[in-house]
A and B are shown apart, each in its own frame.
Chain A
Amino acid sequence: MTLDSETIRHLSEASVSVELQTEDMTLNIGPQHPSTHGVLRLVARVDGERCFDVHPVIGYMHRGYEKLSEVRTYPQITTIVNRIDWVSGYCNEIPFIVAAEKLMGLEVPERAQYIRLILTEMQRIASHLVFMASYPLELGAATPLFFALRERERVLDLLESVTGGRFHPNFNRIGGVKPAYASGSTTRKLPQDLPAGFLQDSRDAMDKVREAADELEDLVAGNEIILARTKGVGVLPPEVAVAYGVSGPNLRASGVAFDLRKTENYLPYDRFDFDVVTAENGDCWDRWYVRLQEIRESVKIVQQAIDSIPSGDLQAKVPKVIKVPKGETYVRAENPKGEMGYYLVSDGGQGPYRLKIRSASFSNISILRWILEGILVPDIIAVMGSLDFVLGDVDR
């Protein structure tokens, strides 16, 4: 409600102001608030229930990972990048490891690449299921949470059986992957491999996840109130989305068919048949639906990968002390939240000279100020939830 000089003069000349002048309220949403996914803070100026300006404040979760990376060795950084987007910890490792391998010119064994791909897609399913769980909760429906998290547990169990970690797998090594201790001997010189029965278990779990996706669609998409709350709310036009650097499912929901899995070859995605899911309207409902469809696509990819996984080594030959040759590179990957990239500058030492992390959520929430302008307070929560960001991914 800015008054230009013309209006002010008009008001001062008029003896009676017809319009009732009300003071607007500054509402501080967060950093401690049930729906800000951690510690995002929104300073909203509201007039009743209508909010006409939102100022997001970030930085409460800043852990200095970029700086920290400069004093760590490459194998140590894997543990750090796990913690950037903790809902999809595994996916964060991939672009970093691939960047290091690219500078070293390493040829990663096929089997290791397939395992990376299978686990990445599983992590994508797990991450999207967290969204499936939390989004209806923000609209007030508590029950889908349990349905979605139950299925996520199935996937996380599989991830755990291979990597030994549920959230922070720390599984990739430069030149390959390293299964957990429980899945093979580490004392003798026997090669480690995937745990026995993993492929069959994954196949079963994927069938169940696909059923669960149908169930979730019934539960949520069949609900009139959810449709009323999300359709046409928080519309993000494609031009705006591109201009702000929004990526991932949020971008695809606006109708831009941009998927790094199709364009970059950081993992052998070109060997599998899957679709890039897009929607038309770019509202909250589309963002929900695109993620549901992506779960189905990921299931398809995992199933194909399991059927065609080659045998062989899990680890390329690498020196005991890993030193990355001098040079710089940028590797980006399609993470569950969007585009994740690492700009790696090496001066030939054991750790990077500089590591710039481009995380998806940071760019995705830059849209908040634009998209939250002039909407109702309940819709702030609905729109914010539909962008599916993680604060660790925003602040790093």
Chain B
Amino acid sequence: MPGWVTDLFSNFWVSLGGKLLLVALMIPLVGMIIGFAEMKLSAKMQSRVGPYFAGGRWGWAQLIADGVKFFQKEDLIPADADRPVFKTAPILVLVGTVALFVVIPFGPNLIFRDLDVGVFYALAISSLSTIGILMAGWSSANKYSLMGGLRAAGQLIAYELPLVLAVVGSVILAGTMSLQGIVEAQIEAGYPFVVIQFVGFGIFMIAALAELSRIPFDMPIAESELVMGYLTEYSGFRFLFFFLAEFANMFTLSAIAATLFLGGYWLPGVPEDVLEFAGPIILITKVFLLVFAMIWFRWTFPRFREDQLQRIAWVWLVPLALLNIVVTALLKVIL
């Protein structure tokens, strides 16, 4: 590589710009891939065809067409809405998602920023989108939106705790909170942490579903009860923001689960010098397996009731996660 190219990329602002561009492109891309997968897979599960005409074959251009459609729509804001809050909410939701990409290691050197408190940062920033949802629900001046927003807040309180507690097991095993460090610890140990942390993994995935408000925990949206929950009054590109954020969030939370429990960009038996190139592919494969499971649940289960969700969180998940921590710590000390 010529010297000036290396110089150019080692410049802080250029590399920052490059990374930002990458993330900015990744969100719509990931959103579209997962959105399309959801359409096609749900169709398969329900003996339908799914999108078929857009783009010629398999309807591959369906989501591009949808995106264009959203931009053409009138940007409606209800007369009674709290305008600044109403406008900020979708941005906040999307920011929470984008910021999560920062700490995900795609390869041994392929990470936007390896924070020492990566796990902590990821969990904290992922709850940012719930604040966006609450804002959306509150500012819409719609009773259904309000109920949806409040349900989202209740869900956040119930599920943030198991989510954090589930992660602690992996952190104890790795001895670090950096996501890169956790992957390296798994390489060193020679097995993905899910072998020991299967309870933690299960709790994490359940709590992640609740965090994403996907069926069976989609009470904040609950189409048959709250029309569209906090999304009721949104249209056009603001709706698109929520839409993209949901799918990109599925990706990022699955990526964190894959990193913490499934070995991240590493696969047992793959030589380490290949990981530089194969890493992203391995990680994305794992992520899509988890995303598939989420889509599968979505089209299989009905939704819980709000009180049932709280009971699951406080009666089952939190004690189980605490027990998991104790057992993991004991194992760590004994072995």
Residue ranges of A at the interface with B (Cβ–Cβ < 8 Å): 25, 27-28, 33-35, 48-49, 136-143, 145-147, 150, 223, 225-226, 228-229, 376-381
Given contact pairs A35-B224, A139-B224, a sample of 19 additional A-B residue pairs in the complex whose CB atoms are under 8 Å apart? A34-B227, A139-B302, A140-B215, A140-B218, A140-B224, A143-B299, A143-B300, A146-B46, A146-B47, A147-B46, A225-B302, A228-B304, A228-B305, A229-B302, A377-B147, A377-B225, A378-B219, A378-B306, A381-B224
Contact in complex: B305, A229 (CB < 8 Å):
yes
Residues of chain B in range 208-248 having any CB-CB distance to chain A below 8 Å: 215-216, 218-219, 222-225, 227
Known: A142-B299, A229-B302, A376-B307. A25 touches B215 (CB 8 A): no
Distance of A54 from chain B, by nearest CB (Å) = 14
List, in ascending order, chain A residues with CB within 8 A of B305's CB.
228-229, 376, 378-379
Distance of B220 from chain A, by nearest CB (Å) = 12
Q: Is B72 an interface residue (CB 8 A)?
A: no
Q: Is B303 an interface residue (CB 8 A)?
A: yes
| Number of interface residues, chain B, beta carbon within 8 A | 28
In angstroms, Cα B308 to Cα A146, docked, is 27
- Most chain A beta carbons < 10 A, residue from B301, B303, B308: B301
Minimum CB distance partner of B48 in chain A: A146
Residues of chain B in range 138-152 having any CB-CB distance to chain A below 8 Å: 143, 147, 150-151
- Most chain A beta carbons < 10 A, residue from B47, B227, B305: B305
Contact in complex: B224, A225 (CB < 8 Å):
no
Minimum CB distance partner of B144 in chain A: A27
Contact in complex: B147, A49 (CB < 8 Å):
yes
Query: Which one, B151, B227, B301, contacts A140 given CB within 8 A?
Result: B301
In angstroms, Cα B150 to Cα A225, docked, is 22
List, in ascending order, chain B residues with CB within 8 A of A380's CB.
225
Distance of B232 from chain A, by nearest CB (Å) = 11
Contact in complex: A49, B306 (CB < 8 Å):
yes
Contact in complex: A137, B45 (CB < 8 Å):
no
List, in ascending order, chain A residues with CB within 8 A of B151's CB.
49
In angstroms, Cα B227 to Cα A377, docked, is 12
Contact in complex: B306, A376 (CB < 8 Å):
yes
List, in ascending order, chain B residues with CB within 8 A of A33's CB.
227
List, in ascending order, chain B residues with CB within 8 A of A228's CB.
304-305, 308
List, in ascending order, chain A residues with CB within 8 A of B215's CB.
140-141
Contact in complex: B225, A35 (CB < 8 Å):
yes
List, in ascending order, chain A residues with CB within 8 A of B301's CB.
140-141, 223, 225
Distance of A131 from chain B, by nearest CB (Å) = 15
Minimum CB distance partner of B308 in chain A: A228
- Most chain B beta carbons < 10 A, residue from A138, A225, A228: A225
Distance of B288 from chain A, by nearest CB (Å) = 21
Minimum CB distance partner of A150 in chain B: B47
Query: Which one, B143, B227, B302, B308, contacts A223 given CB within 8 A?
Result: B302
Q: 4 closest Cβ contacts across the A-B interface?
A: A140-B303, A141-B302, A139-B302, A146-B46
In angstroms, Cα B150 to Cα A49, docked, is 10
Known: A25-B143, A223-B302, A229-B305. A137 touches B216 (CB 8 A): no
List, in ascending order, chain B residues with CB within 8 A of A35's CB.
224-225
In angstroms, Cα B46 to Cα A34, docked, is 20
